[in-house]
Amino acid sequence: MEHPENECQYEGLTVNKGIEQPPSINPYLKHTHRRKLYTAGEYVEGIIKGDVSMLSQAVTLVESNLYEHRSLAQEVIEKCLPHTCKSVRIGITGVPGAGKSTSIDVFGLHVLRNPGNKLAVLAIDPSSERSKGSILGDKTRMEKLAVHPSAFIRPSPSAGSLGGVARKTRETIVLCEAAGYNNIFVETVGVGQSETAVHSMVDFFLLIQLAGTGDELQGIKRGIMEMADGIVINKADGNNIERAKLAQAQFRNALHLFPLPPSGWTPKVLTYSGYYEIGIDEIWQMINDYLDFVHKNGYFEHRRQEQAKYWMYETIDEQLRNNFYNNPIIKEMLEEKEERILGNTQTSFTAAHDVLEYYFRHKEQQKPPTQG
Ligand code: GDP
């Protein structure tokens, strides 16, 4: 008997049969498998057909930090390269609150007015690793684009160094272009070094500024202004119009102090209102004028070639660093050397020398045997 307390000698005491405990794992979930990996050929075929689900999964693969995903991701990217469409890549930066998402929503719809156009919105947000979730490129911030069938919105890759995050976005561009997205927006927060990374993957770099804060020129780093091909002052609406015009004049004056950029194009300063959709045509006219200008003088192609080289060196740098710092013996050596440096028993330079020498010697031994 399951409960001896129920026997007649214990009159007045009954213990009911307990209810069966539910399993700790939802039985229905047992049957759902992890999303399967396709072959490189399958990914590429889907992407070229413009299959958005396949594109998203391939981007996830590119963003993956798992070692076994890396070579598959690279194969997919290489196979996509010959299929990339002619595109325009625009970088958009501005401090939080400048109106990036509002503006991208409006700019995006402007671009998509042409039925032949498709738009991908990507983002580089190096802080997203810390906040465990990216704020940029979030669909909820771009309400109209989010439901547009020709728009593909992807938040920032969220793990790794700025270089790593940016490289993944750079690779995602290739996939999007193979899927026929002929307009690419890359968004970033205008507060750190991520602008340099964005600048190195776009054809036009747009800086969104605000007027009326009283410190128009102080808040932005000179370097960011120097990179901009166009500066646009947002929120030129209501009683802010005058202040926006004033800021426009100040930015124009400030730009005169900079040398002419290598494109030969003098950056323009415009005012607009993303919220009230005022001045959007003019911004697009400016971007098209720029593109005509650099297509004619050959700078467009030159810039893309320089960027391709830049990314090769960036990738080499990143991988060398990773290979070095993730080596377990090197990690141990570095810890020991740190102690020695702090204990004044070795200098920084000889410590670095020792570790590097060990690393290079070790690499030498790993060389594959030469053929023949
Ligand atoms: P982000 O952080 O740069 O993406 O900025 P958001 O697009 O989220 O905009 C920040 C705030 O500014 C929001 O409350 C917007 O409604 C507001 N905003 C954006 N564009 C305009 C504009 O053109 N005019 C006015 N008055 N407000 C705007």
- Please indicate whether residue 347 or residue 16 has the higher confidence score (pLDDT): 347
Which residue, 226, 235, 183, is CA-closest to 207?
226
**Residue of 244, 246, 230 lying closest to 275 (CA atoms):** 244
- Pull the structure tokens for residue 65: 């930090």
C-alpha 207 – ligand 1 centre gap (Å): 15
Determine, yes or no, domain membership for 16: no
The verdict on 151 and 230 lying in the same domain is yes
pTM of the entire predicted model: 0.82
Tokens of 103: 């503006």
> Is 80 exceeded by the pLDDT of residue 32?
no
Q: Is the pLDDT of residue 245 over 50?
A: yes
Q: Quick check: 58 pLDDT over 90? A: yes
Are residues 73 and 146 both part of a single domain? no
Position 218 in a domain: yes
Q: How far is the CA of 14 from the centre of ligand 1 (A)?
A: 68
Ligand 1 and 108: CB distance under 6 A: no
Q: What percent of the chain has pLDDT over 70?
A: 84
Nearest to 171 by CA among 132, 42, 184: 184
pLDDT of residue 132: 47
Q: Could you tell me which of 249, 204, 253, 211 has the C-alpha nearest to residue 233?
A: 211
Calculate how far, in angstroms, residue 98's C-alpha sits from the geometric centre of ligand 1. Answer: 6
- Of the three residues 83, 111, 143, the one that is the final residue of a domain is 83
| Residue 216 scores a pLDDT above 70 | no
Q: What is the CATH number of the domain that holds 62?
A: 1.20.5
Closest CA to 269 of 258, 277, 25: 258
Q: Judge contact between 106 and 112, C-beta under 8 A.
A: no
Q: Give the dihedral sign, CA 135/136/140/141.
A: positive
- 79 and 92 share one domain: no
284-316 tens-digit pLDDT: 999 999 999 999 999 999 999 999 999 899 889
Cα(70)–Cα(72) distance, integer angstroms:
6
Q: Could you tell me if residue 367 is inside a domain?
A: no
Q: pLDDT digits over 230-242, tens only?
A: 999 999 999 999 9
What spacing in Å lies between the alpha carbon of 308 and ligand 1's midpoint?
34
Total number of residues shown for the chain: 372
Cβ neighbourhood burial of 184 (10 Å; 0-12, 13-18, 19+): buried
Q: Across residues 6-28, what is the average pLDDT?
A: 70
Ligand 1 contact via 273 beta carbon (within 6 Å): yes
Ligand 1 centre distance from Cα of residue 100 (Å): 7
How much is the average pLDDT of 90-104? 91
Percent of the chain with pLDDT over 90: 57
Tell me, what amino acid is at 89? R
The model's confidence at residue 155, banded by pLDDT at 50, 70 and 90, is confident
Pocket flag, ligand 1, residue 101 (CB < 6 Å): yes
Q: Is there a single domain that holds both residue 58 and residue 113?
A: no
Predicted pLDDT at 62: 92
Least confident of 221-230, 299-308, 354-363: 221-230
Quote the DSSP letter at residue 276.
Answer: T
**Residue 48 burial by Cβ neighbours in a 10 Å radius (0-12, 13-18, 19+):** middle
Q: Whose CA is nearest to atom 5 of ligand 1?
A: 99
Same domain, 282 and 323: no
Q: 3-state DSSP call for residue 354?
A: helix
Predicted local confidence at residue 2, as pLDDT:
61
Residue 303 lies in a domain: no
Atom of ligand 1 nearest to the CA of 98: 3
Q: Counting beta carbons within 10 angstroms of the beta carbon of residue 187, is it exposed (0 to 12), middle (13 to 18) or buried (19 or more)?
A: buried
Indicate if the pLDDT at residue 123 is higher than 60.
yes
Pair 281, 327 in one domain:
no
Shared-domain flag, residues 103 and 71: no
100 inside domain: yes
Q: Is 199 in the same domain as 328?
A: no
Q: What is the mean pLDDT of the segment spanning 83-102?
A: 91
Reported confidence tier of residue 137, pLDDT bands at 50, 70, 90: low
Mutate to test the pocket of ligand 1, among 275, 276, 277 (most ligand atoms within 8 A of CB): 275
Domain count, the chain: 3
The answer to whether residue 101 is domain-embedded is yes
275 lines ligand 1 (CB under 6 A): yes
What CATH number is attached to the domain comprising 203? 3.40.50.300
Q: List the domain range (segments joined by +) for residue 60.
A: 36-83
Candidates 102, 213, 233: which one to mutate for ligand 1, based on the most atoms within 8 Å of Cβ?
102
305 falls within a domain: no
pLDDT bin (cut points 50, 70, 90) of residue 18 is: confident
Closest atom of ligand 1 to CA, residue 189: 3
Q: What is the 3-state secondary structure (H, E, C) of 306-339?
A: HHHHHHHHHHHHHHHHHHHHCCHHHHHHHHHHHH
- Residue 286 sits at the vertex; the CA angle it makes with 285 and 287, to the nearest 5 degrees, is 90
Same domain, 253 and 108: yes
How confident is the model at residue 371, as a pLDDT? Answer: 43
- Rounded CA-CA distance 274/103 in Å is 5
Residue 197: per-residue pLDDT: 84
Nearest CA to ligand 1 atom 15: 99
Q: What count of other Cβ atoms lies within 10 Å of the Cβ of residue 164?
A: 20
Instruction: Tell me which residue has its CA closest to atom 9 in ligand 1.
Output: 99
Beta carbons of 58 and 66 less than 8 angstroms apart:
no
Residue where a domain stops, chosen among 271, 297, 323 = 297
Mean pLDDT on 98-108:
94
pLDDT, residue 68, reads 81
Which of the listed residues 243, 269, 297 is the one where a domain comes to its end?
A: 297
Contact yes or no for 65/160 (Cβ under 8 A)? yes
Angle at 345 between CA 339 and CA 348, to 5 degrees: 70
Closest residue by CA, ligand 1 atom 11: 97
Which residues have a Cβ under 8 Å from the Cβ of 357 and sit 6 or more positions away?
Answer: none
Ligand 1 pocket, 102 CB below 6 A? yes
Residue 30 domain flag: no
Is-contact 184 307, C-beta < 8 A? no
**189 and 247 housed in the same domain:** yes
Whether 285 and 177 share a structural domain? yes
Q: What are the pLDDT digits (tens) for 181-204? A: 999 999 987 666 777 888 899 999
Please indicate, yes or no, whether residues 173 and 247 belong to a single structural domain of this protein.
yes
3-state secondary structure 43-75: HHHHHHCCCHHHHHHHHHHHHCCCHHHHHHHHH
Please give the average per-residue pLDDT across 35-55, as a whole number.
Answer: 91
